[in-house]
Every structure is written in structure tokens, then in C-alpha cells.
């Protein structure tokens, strides 16, 4: 394929992938069709990175002018400062998912099993039927270590009846 065609192809893909990433990003921001857009946004975002690299590679001669431009450099600094601002402003806040996971994983199974089952007795029976040894007073994390499995596997077993 001729270099001119490669440039056109890389530019076309860059343009259309940018549009899809932008639209799915907006949909995600407003929580519209979240179940459908998140995975598409993430996977096509990775494809977008690869295509942009090809775009830069095939258009290197003209891109060098942009890279040496003061406005390009200033824009990079501004975007970096804004991104760091977002990262630093949320770094002190605990991640709610992590707090929930830690609570569920580290509390005794007698307390946390009620999240997945009608009672501790039923939860214990379900786990033991799947070959998971359960000891009173142990957390899901401790049971996972004891049974040489993942805490997520234990939760998955407990959650099977709820599907």
C-alpha cells in the first residue's frame, strides 16, 4: 500500500474512532446506556491509541512541526495540570467499592453471609456442598486462604442462588 493511502487510512480511522470515543464518553458521563457503552468505550479507546500511533507514524514529517510548536507544548502542560488536579483531588477520598469489599472480605462470615443468603446456616451449607470448608468466626478472606481459593469465588458460590 502506498504511503499516501496509509496516511488516509490512519487519518480516517483516527477521525471515526475519535467520534465513537467522544460519543460513548458523553453517554457514560450522563449514564445513558451504561451497560452498552462502557465496554465499547474501553476497547475502542485502546484501538484508538494504536490508530493514533499509526497516524503519527505515517504523518511524522508534518507532525514534527506541531511537536516543536509552543502552543502544542503549552497545551500539553495545561492538560497535564488539569489531569493531575483530578487525580490529586480524589486521592484523599476512600474508594467506595474498596470500602465495601474490605468490609465484606474481613468481617466474620456469620455477619456477611446474610448479604448473599437467607441465613448463615444456609450459606454455610451452600459453601460446604461446593467443597469449601467453613469455620465459625473466619472472614471470607480467611476462608479463601484456608481453602486455597479466591474470596471472589466464595462470593460467587454464595451468589449462585440469587441469579
| pLDDT tens digits, one per residue of 123-147 | 999 999 999 999 989 999 999 999 9
Q: Which of 8-17, 29-38, 127-136 has the lowest mean pLDDT?
A: 29-38
Q: Coil, strand, or helix at residue 139?
A: strand
pLDDT digits 0-9 by tens, 79-133: 999 999 888 877 666 778 888 888 889 999 999 888 888 889 999 999 999 999 9
CA torsion sign for 111, 116, 120, 123 is negative
How many CB atoms sit inside 10 A of residue 150's CB? 13
How many CB atoms sit inside 10 A of residue 55's CB? 22
- Give start and end residues of each alpha helix (H) in 113-150: 120-129, 140-146
Amino acid at each position: 500500500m502506498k504511503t499516501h493511502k496509509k496516511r488516509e487510512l490512519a487519518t480516517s480511522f483516527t477521525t471515526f474512532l475519535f467520534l465513537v470515543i467522544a460519543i460513548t464518553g458523553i453517554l457514560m458521563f450522563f449514564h445513558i446506556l451504561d451497560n452498552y457503552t462502557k465496554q465499547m468505550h474501553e476497547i475502542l479507546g485502546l484501538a484508538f491509541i494504536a490508530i493514533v500511533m499509526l497516524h503519527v507514524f505515517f504523518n511524522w514529517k508534518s507532525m514534527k512541526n506541531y511537536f516543536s510548536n509552543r502552543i502544542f507544548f503549552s497545551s500539553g502542560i495545561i492538560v497535564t495540570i488539569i489531569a493531575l488536579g483530578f487525580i490529586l483531588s480524589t486521592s484523599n477520598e476512600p474508594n467506595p467499592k474498596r470500602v465495601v469489599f474490605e468490609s465484606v472480605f474481613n468481617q466474620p462470615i456469620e455477619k456477611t453471609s446474610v448479604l448473599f443468603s437467607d441465613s448463615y446456616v444456609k450459606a454455610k451449607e451452600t459453601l460446604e456442598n461446593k467443597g469449601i470448608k467453613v469455620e465459625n468466626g473466619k472472614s471470607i478472606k480467611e476462608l479463601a486462604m484456608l481453602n486455597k481459593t479466591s474470596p471472589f469465588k466464595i462470593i460467587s458460590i454464595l451468589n449462585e442462588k440469587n441469579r
